[in-house]
Amino acid sequence: MTTLSFFDIDETVFNTFAKVIVKDKDGKKVKELTNQDFNKYKLKPGEKYEFDQFTNAKLFRDTSKVIDSVMKKVKEEYKNKDTIIFFLTARPDFDSNSMFKDTFRAQGLRVNDKRIRFELAGNLAKGTIPQKKEYIINKQIDRLGPG
């Protein structure tokens, strides 16, 4: 029987440091928001969000800090040959998939193994981030999980 293990990337497998930029109507940076700040921030009239840092693979690779206890759990799960590991993120595609995956390679993970998969919820068009992640998880359970 196949076991599916899902791990969120940001603030679960890695502490990450990308910021959401708030810009005014003229495109001038007003402020930078952490994930926590973004969840509470209300745009003022004329402001908009810019998420460019969340697609920057070099920033991800160079600044992410592994959460050792979770990475240990990932590796324990991976030892089971019947387990497929899914890494979830709210992010869309990175500007360099290979550089993004270098962060995982540096932890000793064989990212091109068919049992390690990446699901980027930011690529889905509809829904909130939790809804997108739920959709991905259910899709994979329906596809690969026990019938």
pLDDT digits (tens, 9 = 90+) for 84-122: 999 999 999 999 999 999 999 999 999 999 999 999 999
Sign of the CA dihedral with 107 first, then 133, 86, and 54 last: negative
Please report the pLDDT score of residue 97 as a whole number.
96
- State residue 39's pLDDT score: 82
Question: What string of pLDDT tens digits covers the 147 residues of the chain?
Answer: 889 999 999 999 999 999 999 999 999 999 999 988 988 899 999 999 999 999 999 999 999 999 999 999 999 999 999 999 999 999 999 999 999 999 999 999 999 999 999 999 999 999 988 999 999 999 999 988 665
Residue recorded with tokens 């990932």 = 74
- Look at residue 147 in the predicted model and tell me its pLDDT: 52
Q: What is the DSSP code string of 38-71? A: HHH--PPTT-EEE-GGGG-HHHHHHH-EE-HHHH
